[in-house]
Structure 1
């Protein structure tokens, strides 16, 4: 969004956000109705870093090989390339919005701003809950993947003579989530700098893998025909649909780019850092993921079914073992789960910011408790631990059965696809005249890109609902995503229409009458906002410094 360079207006904003943000960043946020409460200590590269570390390219590919390998080596390779191209289109559509209106609760804020007057409150409520629980589901699936990788190292060390039960896996998962909570609460000042270290760790793992695997399998590497032209189908679906299911690997892997949006209020020069962070993270995963998939396809045992059924519990562990032996597999798998651990930490930081923003707008239970920002750390510590608690409860699914645990993966896909697609749809259908582009904008291609993104996101939701093994699943192979997501979507809408519609009116303003000058109030209204509860220009304040509701004018 273009910032009006009014020295008097911007100078007073510095008083609001003194020591936390630049004048321009504070002004952009004020136009959205919020005061600066978090410290903007994330550079553009660090915003990219948190998204890229959440994606955790190689660990995520390893965690989702069960989706891509059944379609054969060409399914692994070309499924990644094609799906990543569509995900980049989604990123372009979101970059347009992130550059124009960067705020931590961007997805539900944009929905409310662009939607029709009759639908905006309900849709904003749905998107907020879908995004929050989808991100928590992503945290659960990342840390569950960590737990499986961790125990697979023990299985390798014991030569496959030990098999962990679901209870052991959950204990490892629980310890991982709790550790993330402690770290996210105590090293907040260094979190931006750590993203650089996490990116470096990711590339060290990628380099080690793409060097070690071809060397280890030098006499047994597969040829180009096997890599690029050999299809397979280890499901009972038609072969073509099995190839589409391989898209779930990149769809789940490259699913953390909205974290750039949630870090908006901690990003310097957010109108550029947010969109570039989105596009850089998706583009990097698209390119390097394609290389990784080619290397895996060239070095994998041609008997793919035996790799998927590995005694080590992880196909990637078997691939490493076949290439570099026991000691090499132990080393690479250890590095793999360390990077996966970093993924979970970055994800917790992102989901806590979304939860905090949604609480700031009064939408979550106990919002007045969770919207608190720690006065010394300047982070939402209570929101961090609230997300930890929800993750531990959702993680109990892994005690039931692997099929129930797998729902955590697709919860992150289906719920977030709804959260990403809804504001894009609202902008295209109702909000075209209200959209003011930011510094990063796709121009005349913006609307076609938006519609292409929506079609792909709907298709991704349908894929996430399908049983991966075939059309006639047993209770053990059933995909429970439809159950989990129906609970999320149906529950949030039921909550809204029964109770929340009485008090949820969309995003709330957090700038008080003391902090806003009359000029600022006029400037905010010029951005399409109507402020209720704050004195109009020329009127005297009633002395109350409460939080006022923020409503969007009808388009």
Structure 2
């Protein structure tokens, strides 16, 4: 192709430095030539170093729908009964205190997402905000921490859903007791269905997640009403009123061997895990229109709405529960504390009804978790993070979605679920691992944003303004406190056995140690952080051929061919000199 023909094929120029962002192309006077007209969203992702590979068919509402589905308040609260109520009792104080700090983490991440709207998420931000000498190492560790959060999400949700299904079976069939094999097989079936759905085209996933969010909201309200209106505990137990008194409902009841303050911090695991889905919009940035505004708004909406609704739900539980000790004892052998709680306060038909709605909500939640996780695996494979990355980063030509990444996550999820056969304590580690790994990855860019990069961070259209650093310091301090707390077992001294041990230290810090060692031994030689997938012949170094506005300029076809050829030759010479 001649120079004239090459130049005529260029429809748009994206001048990176005109977009006022920090990226792998920043401050290099880079212009990207594109063979079609681009909008502001595509200009941004190109400036960040990536081609537009997905269709942007997610709106603010549909992105919020995915994150609210991942949040899955109803199944999350049911799944985390072990890690909240059975730790500090029934008081909603624990939830609301935790939410203040969780929201600070979410708001800080929302600001980061506006500045770096790419599906790579927080690791890309870390790569741009850390000291250059350590950028690759911190980016590498942030990637693996975030990835651990993502790949444990769907398995942990589906394990909880399977447990609730089998708890209903146990309640209605007194001679049935579920085995670990039953739980694993049922979880496998749920995982397979989510694998299929997550491989569908983006438009279908957007519709499914919108439907699931509406369903989750409706079911959450219905179960909330059923708990309050269907509560007939006074018919089951003599001498108690329909609702607990304020003094009982708001009291703390330490169920651990630690002081009450430590026990309350341990109980934050329930809220942290239940609320961990607010990062999902970040990973859907490349499929969302007006991403630099819609994504942070979706994160904030998810955290605030989820936090308030969850707190109201906790109040309903605290005023209706009969005995936390009885729930812990599980006299019916159901193996699911939330179902045991429902059995205390309502008839069997209502228990079946409320639990069934929780199961349906949990199914949609697991589906959204696998969807978000597949986009993370795709983004990290695009940067060459994993062995065989060239396969995991492929986008299916038919569905225009990363089907290989979905299959990869499914396989790893099933390996994690083998912990079911090691007992309830071992499989419970995937909950706390999800909490720690997510918090570390969510907060890492905030740490550098308020320290090393304080003076060079360029906020996006959505910003916290003067509150950025104060909120950032609160979120970082909270995470630093919670990391060791989430590794504490609930018993101590002579009562601490292998079965009671908190294996989070092994399940999280083991893989993270391996990731660190692999970087020191080998990866430091080739991993330099995010890398562009834009072809070198599409890049020009030096002054752009035309003036631009907002970083994008459509080709002016009225210019003479001779003039255009001269411009092309000048920029080609500049590129050759740079190389």
The offset of 1:423, in angstroms, is: 1.5
The offset of 1:518, in angstroms, is: 5.5
- Structure 2 residue aligned with 1:117, among 125, 132, 140? 132
Looking at structure 2, the residues matched to 312 and 401 of structure 1 have their Cα atoms a distance apart, in angstroms, of 15
The offset of 1:433, in angstroms, is: 2.9
Residue 435 of structure 2 corresponds to residue 395 of structure 1 = no
Q: 1:196 corresponds to which residue? A: 210
Computing the radius of gyration from Cα coordinates, the structure with the larger value is 2
Q: 1:27 corresponds to which residue? A: 43
Residues 146-189 of structure 1: CA distance to partner in whole angstroms, max 9, x if unpaired?
11111112112214x32211111111111111111111113543
The offset of 1:537, in angstroms, is: 3.8
How do 1:353-502 residues align onto structure 2 when only pairs under 5 Å count?
A: 353-470=375-492, 472-502=495-525
Looking at structure 2, the residues matched to 15 and 214 of structure 1 have their Cα atoms a distance apart, in angstroms, of 60
Q: Contact 1:308 / 1:314 at 8 angstroms: preserved in 2?
A: no
Q: Contact 1:100 / 1:439 at 8 angstroms: preserved in 2?
A: yes
Q: 1:230 corresponds to which residue? A: 251
Looking at structure 1, the residues matched to 106 and 496 of structure 2 have their Cα atoms a distance apart, in angstroms, of 34
Looking at structure 2, the residues matched to 85 and 337 of structure 1 have their Cα atoms a distance apart, in angstroms, of 28
How do 1:241-390 residues align onto structure 2 when only pairs under 5 Å count?
A: 241-301=262-322, 303-310=323-330, 311-390=333-412
Looking at structure 2, the residues matched to 378 and 396 of structure 1 have their Cα atoms a distance apart, in angstroms, of 32
- Structure 2 residue aligned with 1:505, among 515, 528, 534? 528
- Structure 1 residue aligned with 2:224, among 200, 204, 210? 210
Pair 127,164 (structure 1): closer, same or farther in 2 beyond 3 Å:
same
Q: 1:545 corresponds to which residue? A: none
The offset of 1:12, in angstroms, is: 8.0
Q: Contact 2:51 / 2:533 at 8 angstroms: preserved in 1?
A: yes
The offset of 1:196, in angstroms, is: 1.7
Residues 440-469 of structure 1: CA distance to partner in whole angstroms, max 9, x if unpaired?
101111111111111111222222211134
Corresponding residue SS for 1:257: helix
Q: Contact 1:370 / 1:380 at 8 angstroms: preserved in 2?
A: yes
Pick which of 176-185 and 400-409 moved more: 176-185
Unaligned runs of 5+ in 1: 528-534, 543-548, 550-555
Pair 164,287 (structure 1): closer, same or farther in 2 beyond 3 Å:
same
Looking at structure 1, the residues matched to 486 and 259 of structure 2 have their Cα atoms a distance apart, in angstroms, of 17
Q: 2:74 corresponds to which residue? A: 58
Looking at structure 2, the residues matched to 362 and 491 of structure 1 have their Cα atoms a distance apart, in angstroms, of 17
- Structure 1 residue aligned with 2:109, among 90, 94, 113? 94
The offset of 1:71, in angstroms, is: 4.6
Looking at structure 2, the residues matched to 214 and 103 of structure 1 have their Cα atoms a distance apart, in angstroms, of 43
TM-score (norm: length of structure 2): 0.85
Looking at structure 2, the residues matched to 134 and 37 of structure 1 have their Cα atoms a distance apart, in angstroms, of 25
Q: 1:154 corresponds to which residue? A: 169
Looking at structure 2, the residues matched to 15 and 308 of structure 1 have their Cα atoms a distance apart, in angstroms, of 64
The offset of 1:235, in angstroms, is: 1.6
The offset of 1:416, in angstroms, is: 1.4
The offset of 1:317, in angstroms, is: 0.9
The alignment covers a number of residue pairs equal to 525
Looking at structure 1, the residues matched to 390 and 87 of structure 2 have their Cα atoms a distance apart, in angstroms, of 49
- Structure 2 residue aligned with 1:167, among 167, 178, 181? 181
Corresponding residue SS for 1:378: coil
Residue 170 of structure 2 corresponds to residue 181 of structure 1 = no
Pair 74,336 (structure 1): closer, same or farther in 2 beyond 3 Å:
closer
Looking at structure 1, the residues matched to 42 and 458 of structure 2 have their Cα atoms a distance apart, in angstroms, of 18
Q: Contact 1:518 / 1:536 at 8 angstroms: preserved in 2?
A: no
Q: Contact 1:3 / 1:27 at 8 angstroms: preserved in 2?
A: no
Looking at structure 1, the residues matched to 63 and 456 of structure 2 have their Cα atoms a distance apart, in angstroms, of 27
TM-score (norm: length of structure 1): 0.89
The offset of 1:223, in angstroms, is: 3.1
- Taking only aligned residues, the RMSD between alpha carbons, in angstroms, comes to 2.7
Residues 380-407 of structure 1: CA distance to partner in whole angstroms, max 9, x if unpaired?
1100110001101111111111110001
Corresponding residue SS for 1:538: helix
Residues 112-163 of structure 1: CA distance to partner in whole angstroms, max 9, x if unpaired?
111112211111011111111221112221111111111112112214x322
The offset of 1:197, in angstroms, is: 1.1
Unaligned runs of 5+ in 2: 1-15, 21-28, 235-240, 552-568
